[in-house]
A and B are shown apart, each in its own frame.
Chain A
Amino acid sequence: MTTTVPADGHRTAFVDNDQKPCGHGRMLRKEDPRFVRGKGRYVDDLQLPGMLHLAILRSPLAHARLLSVDTSLAEAHPKVRLVVTGAMLAEKGLAWMPTLSGDVQAVLATDKVRFQGQEVAFVVAEDRYAARDALELIDVEYEPLDPVIDVRTALAPDAPVIRDDLEGKQDNHCFDWETGDAAETDAVFARADVVVKEDIVYPRVHPAPMETCGAVADYDAVDGKLTLWSTTQAPHAHRTLYAIVAGLPEHKIRVVSPDIGGGFGNKVPIYPGYVCAIVGSLLTGKPVKWMEDRSENLITTGFARDYIMRGEIAATREGKILAVRTHVLADHGAFNGTAAPVKYPAGFFGVFTGSYDIEAAYCKMTAAYTNKAPGGVAYACSFRITEAVYLIERIVDCLAYELGVDPVELRMKNLIRPEQFPYRTKTGWVYDSGNYAPTMELATQLAGYAELRAEQAEKRVRGELMGIGVSFFTEAVGAGPRKDMDILGLGMADGCELRVHPTGKAVVRLSVQSQGQGHETTFAQIVAEELGIPPQDIEVVHGDTDQTPFGLGTYGSRSTPVSGAAAALVARKVRDKARLIASSMLEVSVADLEWEKGSFRVAGDPKASVTIQDIAMRAHGAGDLPDGVEGGLEAQICYNPENLTYPHGAYICVVDIDPGTAKVTVRRFVAVDDCGTRINPMIIEGQVHGGLTDGVGMALMEMIAFDEDGNCLSGSLMDYLIPTSLEVPDWETGFTVTPSPHHPIGAKGVGESATVGSPPAIVNAVVDALKPFGVRHADMPLTPSRVWEAMQGRPTPPI
C-alpha cells in the first residue's frame, strides 16, 4: 500500500487506490463519481421554471461619451420582457457598485464607456437566442474620445482623464505604493561590485477558466428572499457586497456557488453581469440566467498581471546578492477591480526579494488607469506573487549571465539558510519555515542537471539550441491574519462547523469553495485524520451561504492554510468534547484517556476503549452526560491565521529551440515543491501539474493584447492561446516537506505554487538557449516570432 510516491524517479508513479486512508494520504476524490457521469451541477445546468435569459450589450469602443441609448426596437421584440439601461439603474441608485479594492465600477454605463466591452444595457428575454437577437436592436450613440491604451503615457499631463466620474479627478493616477528602505538600498547599490538592471514586462494575461462566469438570480417577492447561483470563488464576501449594493438584508440573500468549472481568480471579483441578473429578477419577478460567452469572459472579466517592471540587483563580484530594487508601473484598467487585502494595493508583491538572504530591498510602484478592462489579481497569482517571483528569478538569472556563473550555483549561494527561519525579509514579511537547499538539490538531482549541462555544451558546438532554466520561489499564501488583512473591511478569517451525527457520520461546513481543488475529499481527510472517522463518512458542505459559516473564500491558495486549519481545529474541539464523554463512558478521569485515531482508550488497559462512533451515539443518546456537557457532538470555530504560510519550490525546465523556425519545445520540466504537510499527494500533484501548464501558457503564448484604439485582440480562444496536450511534457515532480510551524497540521497552500514558479523557469530556459545570440532577456510570450526577433538581436517588449 503506497500512499505517497517519493521523488525518486523521473516519472511519478500512480497506484491503484484500493486503500482508503483514514486521514491524510492518497485517496480518490469523492466528487469524481458525479463528474465522470456528467452529473456535475454547474450554474448553466440550472433550469428553473419560468426562467428568463439575460444578455448584455457591450461597448464596441474603449473610450467614448454615451450620448443616447434607444431600446424601443428591442422592447418591441416579441420574446423580450425587459430592457435596462444605465440611466434606468441610476434612477434606482444601482448604476455603480463598489469593487473589491474600494473603487467603484459602473454596472451599466451612464456617462461614458471606459473600456471595450463595458456593459451598456441588458436584455431579458424568454430564451437565450432571443436575448442575443435583441441586443442588435438597441441603438447606442457614442461620441468617441481619445483612448489611453499605453500605460507608459497614461500619466502624461495631457492624457485624457478616464475617471472623470471621481470628483476632482484630474489625471489617470490610481495609487502609489512603496516598501523597503530606499536610502539603505541605494547605499548598498552604491558600494556593490556589480549592479544589473533589466526592464521586464509581465504582460496582461487571463485565467480563462473553461466555464465562463454567470449567474441565475431568483428573487422570491413573497418572502423577499433572493437566491443567486453564481460562479463565485467567494460566496460570503459576494453576499455581503450585494447586501450593501442592493440594500437587501443579508439574511434575505442566499449565494450558492455550485460546481465551478475552474476559477483561477477569475471568479473572485463581482461583475456587473451578476448585478444585472439580480436586477433582472427583481424587476421581472422571474428567475433570470446570465452566462457570459467566451469573448465576454476574455474581454471584460478579471485579467491578471500587466506590470512593467524595472528590476535591479546588486551583488559582490563573488556572487553574493546584496540588494534588490524595483520600480513598477501597473496597468489597472478603467476601474481598480483588483481583489487584494486593503493594506496591500499591490497584493503581496512585497515578497519580490524572493528566497534570498539579502541586505536591503526597495520597491516603488505606480498604478494607473487605462481604457482597458478592470481586474488585476487573478490567474493563480497569489496576490501578485507571480509578478514578484518572475522579477526576482529573471533578474537573478541576468546576474548569473553577467557574472558568468551557473544559475543553480548562484542561487545556492544566496538562499536563506534553514537556521534563519522564521526569516524577516527586508520588506517586513516573516517567512514561517523553509529548508531551501535540499529542495534545490533534489530538483537538480531529478533533472540530472550536470548531464543536461554537458548535453547542452555538446549541442552548442553543433549549433543546436537547448536551454536549461531554473527558478526557486517562495510563496506567501493563506491570507490572512486579521490584524493585517481584510477585503473591504471583511477580515480574512474563516469559519468552520463540524457536526457528528448519532451514528458517527459527520458533516463539515466550510466557507471556502472548490473550483476543482477537491475540497470534498481533502477536507474530509483533514477531519478524518483528527477524529478517525473515515472520509467516506464525512460530508463536506460548501458553496452555499445558507449552509455554511462566514469566510472569505478560495483564492490566493488560502483554502488549506486558513480553512484547512479551521477544519483541523474544529475537529479537535469535537475531540475534546468527545474526550469528556468518553471519560464518563469508561468511568475514568480525562487524564487517564489516550487518543488513538478513532477511539479513546484507558491508559494501561487496552481493552477498555470507546470509538468516536460510540461516543457520538452516547452524545445524542439517552442517559446523563458528564456535568457541564451539552448533548450532541458538534463544534464551530472561526480561525484567524497567525501568519501566512510560505511554501517553496525549485523548478528546472529544459527547452529545445528549432534554430530555423525559432519555435520553442518544452522537453522536460522538473518541479520539486514543498508545501509542508501533504494531505492528499494525488491532489497536490494535480494542482502542481495544472500550474505548470499555466506557466507554459504565459511563458510561450498567452497574452491579452490591444491595438492602439483599445480594441482587444485576444477576444476568443482562437486568439487567446492556451496550451493543449501537445505543448506540455509529461511533468516530473518531487517534493520535500517542511511543515508550517503555526498551522495546526503544518500544511501550506499549493494551488498556485506552480503558476508562480514555472514562468521564470521556462523563460530562463529560453534565454539560456539563446545565449549564443547574446540574449540576456526576452519578454513573454515567447512565441516563435518573438524568439526569432530576439535571435536577430532585437528582442522587443510585448507592449
Chain B
Amino acid sequence: MQVPAPFEYQRVHSVGEAIALLDRLGDTARLVAGGHSLIPMMKLRLANFEYLIDINELHHQLGYIRVESGLIRIGAMTRHRELLESDELAAAFPIFRDAERVIADPVVRNRGTLGGSLCQADPSEDLSAVCTTLGASCVIQGLDGERVVSMEDFHRGPYETAVGDAEMLTEVRFPVRPGGSSAYEKVERRAGDWAVVSAGAAVWLDGGSIADARVGLAAVGPNTAGIPGIADIMRGRAPGEELYARAGQIAAEACSPVTDRRGSAEYKRHLARELTVRVLRRAVARAGRQEA
C-alpha cells in the first residue's frame, strides 16, 4: 500500500493553537480534518508537507449546526454524516440531504468534514456546489481575528482557496430567507464516484412567482460555479417547464466542461441543462409545498 512521505504530526486543541502553529510553520504545514482527500494525495505523494496539524479534536468546538433567525451557521468540523442526518438542516435546506446522500460513501462520510471539503476546492466537489447554490459565506480565522468571504471569493481556482497560510476556515454561514427551498442532483458513473456533473438549485417563492433563484454546478469548469444569469431570467416570473428549460439553456451555455473519462464535453453540457431543469423543478415543488 502506498504511504505518505515522512512528516511531523501535531495535534491541536483550539483554533488559536492551530493558527499560531500555522503561523510558525508557514507553508510547510497543512491542517488535516477528516483527511479523506488529503491523506490519499499524500499517499500518492502528490502532496507532501513537513508538518501535519490534526484539528480533529476541534470537532467539539467546530462540529455544529446552529439555526438562528435568518441564518444557519455550520462549524467547519461538522462531518458529512452530521450534515446528512440533521433534520433541522434538511428542513431549511433539503439540498444538503440530497447532496450528502451521494457524496462519497457512508464510511467516508463518518469522517469527512464540511471545512475539509471546501478547502480541498476540487472542481467536482459537491458541498462546494451546495454552498455556492445557497450563497454561503465562509468565516476565515487568522491571527488578527476573522474575516468573512463569499463562496465566489473563497474559491480562487481548482484546489485553491482564499484561506491564507496562517488562517483556517472555521464556519460556513447560510442566509435563510422565507419561501425558499432547494434541491441537488448528481450524475455519477457509480455510487461513490465523483460527479460527472452535479447541479444544485435554490429558489424562493413569493406568492405565485419566483422571488429569487440560484443554481450551482459542479464538475463543469475550473470551479464550482454559480450562474447569475439564471436568477436574472427567473425573478418575478411564475415557475414552469418553459422557464426551467430556459434556465437549463443558460446553464449549458455558461459552463465549460472538458472531455475526460467521466464523459464527453457534449454530454456534460447536456447534463448541465438536464440537471438544472430537474433541480429547479424539484426545488420549486418543495418550496410550493412549504408555502401551502
Q: Is A180 an interface residue (CB 8 A)?
A: no
Query: Given A132-B3, A661-B271, A784 and B264 touching (CB < 8 A)?
Result: no
Main SS of the interface on chain A? loop
Residue A721 at the chain B interface, CB threshold 8 Å:
yes
Proximity bits, B142-168, A CB within 8 Å = 1, else 0: 000000000000000000000000000
In the assembly, what is the distance between CA of A42 and CA of B148, in Å?
52
B253 at the interface (CB under 8 A from A): no
Q: Judging by beta carbons under 8 Å apart, are B274 and A784 in contact?
A: no
B69 within 8 A of A: no
**Contact pick for A785, options B5, B105, B267, B275, CB 8 Å:** B267
Residues of A within 8 A of B268 (CB): 785
A783-B2 contact in complex given A660-B278, A663-B187, C-beta closer than 8 Å: no
Q: Mark A777-799, 1 if CB is under 8 A from B, else 0.
A: 00000011100110010000000
With both beta carbons as reference points, the residue of chain B lying nearest to A792 in the complex is identified as: B266
* B136 nearest CB across to chain A (Å): 27
Residue-wise, chain B 261-284 has the 8 Å CB interface mask toward A (1 for contact) of 111101110110011001000000
Say yes or no for A705: interface residue by CB 8 A criterion.
yes
A133 to B2, CA, bound (A): 10
Known: A721-B193, A727-B190. A789 touches B264 (CB 8 A): yes
Q: Which of A682-720 contact B (CB under 8 A)?
A: 701, 705, 713-714, 716, 718-719
Q: Nearest chain A CB to B219's CB is how many angstroms away?
A: 12
Contact call B191/A727, Cβ cutoff below 8 A = yes
Interface membership of A129, Cβ < 8 A = yes
Closest to A716 in B: B44
A784 touches B190 (CB 8 A): no
Contact with A along B247-265 (1 / 0, CB 8 A): 0000000000000011110
A128 to B3, CA, bound (A): 9
Q: B267 contacts A132, CB within 8 Å?
A: no
Tell whether A726 is near chain B: CB-to-CB under 8 Å: yes
Residues of B within 8 A of A129 (CB): 3, 6
Of chain B, the residue at the smallest CB distance from A705 is B261
Q: Report chain B residues within 8 Å CB of A705.
A: 261
The reply on B192 being an interface residue by CB < 8 A is yes
Say yes or no for A60: interface residue by CB 8 A criterion. no
Interface residue? A584 (CB, 8 A): no
B72 CB, nearest partner CB in chain A, Å = 30
A293 interfacial by beta-carbon distance below 8 Å: yes
Whole-angstrom CA separation of A726 from B190 in the bound complex: 8
Interface centre among A128, A660, A661, A719 (most CB of B within 10 A): A661
For residue B191, which residues in chain A have a CB less than 8 angstroms away from its CB? 724, 726-727
Q: Are B270 and A132 in contact (CB under 8 A)?
A: no
Nearest A residue (CB) for B271: A661
Chain B residues positioned under 8 Å from A716 (CB to CB):
44
Point out the residues of chain B lying under 8 angstroms from A661, CB to CB: 187, 271, 274-275
CB of B189 closer than 8 Å to a CB of A: yes
Q: A705-B261, A723-B190, A724-B190 are in contact. Are A785 and B6 (CB under 8 A)?
A: no
**Chain A contacts for B6, CB-based, 8 A:** 129, 133
User: In the complex, A78 Cα to B191 Cα: how many Å?
Assistant: 44
A698 to chain B, nearest CB (A): 13
Q: A660-B278, A661-B271 are in contact. Are A784 and B189 (CB under 8 A)?
A: yes
Give Cα distance in the complex from A674 to B167, angstroms. Answer: 65
A538 at the interface (CB under 8 A from B): no
Measured in the bound complex, the distance between the Cα atoms of B186 and A784 in whole Å is 12
Instruction: With both chains docked as a complex, state the minimum distance between the C-beta of B39 and any C-beta of chain A, in angstroms.
Output: 13
B121 interface contact, C-beta 8 A:
no
Interface pair A783/B3, CB less than 8 Å apart? no
Bound state CA distance, A136 and B4, in angstroms?
Answer: 12
Is the pair A719, B261 in contact by a Cβ cutoff of 8 Å? yes
- Using a CB-CB cutoff of 8 Å, which residues 1-16 of chain B contact chain A? 1-3, 5-6
Report how far A431 CA is from B31 CA in the complex, Å.
Answer: 64
Q: Is B127 in the interface zone, CB < 8 Å from A? A: no
Q: Say whether B264 contacts A785, CB under 8 Å.
A: yes
Residue A291 is within 8 A (CB to CB) of chain B in the complex: yes
Q: B270–A788 contact, CB under 8 A?
A: yes
Partner of A295, one of B2, B190, B263: B2
Selected contact of B189 from candidates A128, A783, A788, CB within 8 Å: A783
Complex contacts, B189 vs chain A, CB 8 Å = 701, 721, 783-784
Report if B65 contacts A (CB, 8 A). Answer: no
* B84 on the A face (CB < 8 A): no
Chain A contacts of B275 at CB under 8 A? 661
Q: Give CA–CA (A784, B275) in the complex, Å.
A: 14
CA distance A738 to B288 in the complex (A): 62
Give CA–CA (A265, B20) in the complex, Å.
54
Closest to A720 in B: B261
Select from chain B the residue with minimum beta-carbon distance to A660. Answer: B274
- Kindly provide the distance from the CB of B52 to the nearest chain A CB, expressed in whole angstroms: 15
Give chain B nearest CB distance to A629 CB in angstroms: 56
A418 to B109: give the CA distance in the assembly, Å.
Answer: 55
Question: Complex: how many Å from CA A293 to CA B5?
Answer: 15
**Residues in chain B near residue A136, CB distance under 8 A:** 5, 45
Bound complex: CA A136 to CA B278 (Å): 49
The answer to whether A784 and B3 touch (CB under 8 A), given A660-B274, A724-B191, A727-B190, is: no
Given contacts A701-B189, A726-B191, are A788 and B5 in contact (CB under 8 A)? no
A660 CA to B6 CA in the complex, in Å? 48
B74 interface contact, C-beta 8 A: no
Residues of A within 8 Å of B1, CB to CB, are: 128, 291, 293-294
What's the minimum C-beta distance from A707 to chain B, rounded to whole angstroms? 10
> With contacts A293-B2, A721-B190, A727-B190 known, is A784 near B261, CB below 8 A?
no
With A and B bound together, what is the CA distance between A701 and B189 in angstroms? 7
A740-799 CB contacts (< 8 Å) to partner B? 783-785, 788-789, 792
Q: How far is the CA of A719 from the CA of B193 in the complex (A)?
A: 9
| B5 nearest in chain A by CB position | A133
Report the Cα distance A78→B278, complex, angstroms.
60
Residues of A within 8 A of B261 (CB): 705, 713-714, 719
Given contacts A132-B3, A133-B6, A293-B2, contact A785 B190 (CB under 8 A): no
A307 to B164, CA, bound (A): 52
Chain B min CB distance to A140 (Å): 16
A784 touches B267 (CB 8 A): yes
Instruction: A660 to B193: give the CA distance in the assembly, Å.
Output: 19
Query: Would you call B192 and A724 a contact (CB within 8 A)?
Result: yes
B202 within 8 A of A: no
Q: Specify which chain A residues have a CB less than 8 angstroms from the CB of B263 in the assembled complex.
A: 783-785, 788
The reply on B196 being an interface residue by CB < 8 A is yes
Docked complex Cα distance between A724 and B107 (Å): 14
Please indicate the chain A residues that have their CB under 8 angstroms from the CB of B192 in the complex: 724
Please give the distance in Å from A183's CB to the nearest CB on chain B: 44
Chain B, Cβ-Cβ closest to A725: B191
CB contacts under 8 Å to A, within B169-220, are 187, 189-194, 196
- Measured CB to CB, the closest approach of chain A to B186, in angstroms, equals 10
Q: Please name the residue on chain B nearest to A723 by beta carbon.
A: B190
For residue A796, which residue of chain B has the nearest CB?
B264
> Residue on B with the closest CB to A707?
B261
Q: CB-nearest residue of chain A relative to B187?
A: A661
A294–B189 alpha-carbon span in the complex (Å):
20
Q: Bound state CA distance, A112 and B17, in angstroms?
A: 53
Min CB distance A696 to B, Å, is: 10
Query: Please, how many angstroms separate the alpha-carbon atoms of A170 and B177 in the complex?
Result: 73
Docked pose: A716 CA to B194 CA in angstroms: 14
Q: Give chain A residues whose Cβ lies under 8 Å from the Cβ of B193.
A: 718, 721
Residues in B with CB closer than 8 Å to A295 are 2, 44
Contact A785–B196 (Cβ < 8 Å): yes
Q: Which residues of B contact A (CB under 8 A)?
A: 1-3, 5-6, 44-45, 105, 187, 189-194, 196, 261-264, 266-268, 270-271, 274-275, 278
- Extra contacts besides A128-B3, A784-B263 (14): CB < 8 Å: A129-B3, A136-B45, A291-B1, A662-B267, A701-B189, A701-B190, A713-B261, A724-B191, A783-B263, A785-B263, A788-B263, A789-B264, A789-B267, A792-B266
7 contacts between A and B (CB under 8 A): A133-B5, A718-B193, A719-B261, A726-B191, A783-B189, A785-B196, A785-B263
In the A-B complex, the 4 residue pairs with the closest CB atoms: A785-B263, A726-B191, A785-B267, A660-B274
